[in-house]
A and B are shown apart, each in its own frame.
Chain A
């Protein structure tokens, strides 16, 4: 097969190149173009990604405009924004006999989780990075310890924190009791539920923020530290005025990854609450989406929620990509 191709190519190019006027032959150059010669490498992944990622995203958007409920095939003939109206206002849609509640509650929880999780993660990661950067002993060991939770899957973290939050034997409540308080119900407490989820996720991902910041810190020339010292800046002032402003790129890239992670907290909630019913105070868009699609068979409505999630993720990622592009880093 390969030989045949080579021979074919050679024959064409041979005849084409046989011009004597020394001019450039367009047909010959077609096969010689870089983009064509490299096609075997980029074309298959390009097509596969195009079909399975972007194609699927587009299909999902179209699906969200139908009223598909899992039986037969979707009717692409009559597209409408009904599902989006239902998502924002609630009501009885044409494809169901049951009232569908709007997504505000889960959307709000999603945003709260996203903001708390990413901000605290970044702050904690920065502090850890600065501490680890002080040329301490066993630096590698500390780094590994802080990063290790990130290697666990959400399922493990969820089960692990379920033990940690146990009112009788959990470490958190042992600490609370040792301070002289009564044990606290955490897992099913509407006031603490979402905070408990965020806390566990922060525990898991602040190590990641630390690594990103550590790389940022290492990239800052030692001279900057020394110059600040010579000018008589205190440690806090030095970090606040000189070092942290230079960590902008690290912050933005870590922030993007972290917020996207928080949109995917589905697995965590699924494992912690044994299903996609974490209760109203911890319900996020992802759990709502799976519930609509898989438990109720409301596929089109599930797709609608998926599109809303997708737009939220885009809103976070786009400014980042745009600023990278503006600064010529893309």
Chain B
């Protein structure tokens, strides 16, 4: 070793350390978002699949009309909405809100309570108020002010079926009129075919929460359902709905706790299962399979007993206070409120436009049928599992109750937990 060597390496090390420290400090102080007011920053979790195609179509449509507005679109990776909420939480705490972000409307808005600003008049003009049905319109409001623009609707109270399996079992889906009819039909299918009667996953609690809220709506009616989401639920009705879920669980796949929605849904597509209850994104998966066609190979009925209701799950873009690009954001939200934008978006997403005047002829047959149901529905209640109907804290309690229900299958104690979720 010569005398020079350690000195040189020390210098290099010093230099490297210096650069590293400088970079680190720059990272701490840098604000990163010195966006021009014409640059719109949109945070969303649609980083893949149909959601990604849908948001791309929406942005393309918007930019054709407003070529002067730049987009800093930022998909938050990890697909799950939870990640997006964490990013939003951090951004709001740092007082650095984006222009808008993807969120469930309704009670979920309470999560970032004071972060929104009223856009009645600017965006929510008479045209929107006229053409959004009362259900979706109520969900666009937080504390009585219009703060967000819903741009799609997924329905929750669906029952999808594999036509061939039902034919083999001799079950006519149109004849079912209550949740207990579904259980009886499952018994028939179990007897007459080798297929699993009711595809369902129980590794996570969300599918079961969805199923229960649908059955509650079907059994207790819209009054009973609304009483529950307002915190005045009838314990007997809640327990009856849970009991129906338990009855149905006899007909789940025996490995329901180890599979995901994708696997459960694939069982229906491959003729290994007869029914599945799911949001209409399940139909999106069928659409990707050329061998499995709507009307021929699979069909859909409103979940028996819940006819007349369209149980809502929506996505929306809210207007955030302290907005980095006020004008551009309002233009974008106004665009999202148009029928044209909603058709572009929903054609890819597989959901339906919330505007009742939308021209849905370019959507697929299933979507057109759903849209017809939507416009004919007497009520459009908000979903519990999908955050519209209850505040985030109550929703966590309900999810906890259902994660316990998956273990215990005990309707009485779960009913107590569910009613207690609001206290």
Contacts and interface: CB of A to CB of B under 8 A. Distances in A.
Interface string A286-330: 000001001111100000000000000000000000000000000
Interface residues of A, number: 44
A170 B89 CA distance: 40
A44 interface: yes
A274 B203 contact: yes
A96 B393 contact: yes
B392 A273 contact: no
Contacts of A96: 393
Contact of A167 (B13, B254, B395, B422): B254
B361 interface: no
A89 interface: no
A280 B403 contact: yes
Interface string A256-294: 000000000000000011110111110000000001001
A311 B257 CA distance: 35
Interface stretch (A77-85, A158-166, A228-236, A246-254): A158-166
Given A274-B260, A277-B402, 7 more contacts: A41-B14, A44-B17, A72-B114, A168-B255, A188-B202, A281-B407, A297-B392
Contacts of B11: 2
Nearest to A173: B255
B257 A187 contact: yes
A2 B14 contact: yes
Contacts of A298: 393
Interface residues of B, number: 49
Interface in B102-131: 111-115
B89 A273 contact: no
A40 B114 CA distance: 46
A218 B253 CA distance: 51
16 contacts: A2-B15, A70-B112, A98-B422, A162-B258, A165-B257, A167-B254, A167-B258, A188-B407, A190-B408, A274-B203, A277-B205, A277-B402, A279-B407, A280-B403, A294-B86, A298-B393
A48 B257 contact: no
B266 to A, nearest CB: 14
Interface of B: 11, 13-15, 17-18, 20-21, 24, 82, 85-86, 89, 93, 111-115, 202-206, 253-255, 257-260, 392-397, 399-400, 402-404, 406-408, 420-423
Contact of B406 (A97, A186, A188): A188
A102 interface: no
A99 B18 CA distance: 51
Tell me if A's interface is mostly helix, strand, loop or mixed: loop
A76 B17 CA distance: 36
A297 B17 CA distance: 38
A183 B254 contact: yes
B93 A280 contact: no
What 9 A-B pairs have minimum CB-CB distances, sorted nearest first?
A274-B204, A166-B258, A279-B403, A187-B257, A190-B407, A277-B403, A188-B257, A168-B255, A44-B21
A167 B203 CA distance: 13
Given A44-B20, A71-B113, A166-B255, A295 B404 contact: no
A193 to B, nearest CB: 7
A185 interface: yes
Contacts of A183: 254
Interface centre among B11, B114, B257, B395 (most CB of A within 10 A): B257
A186 B407 CA distance: 10
A185 B397 CA distance: 25
A169 interface: yes
Contact of A187 (B258, B392, B421, B423): B258
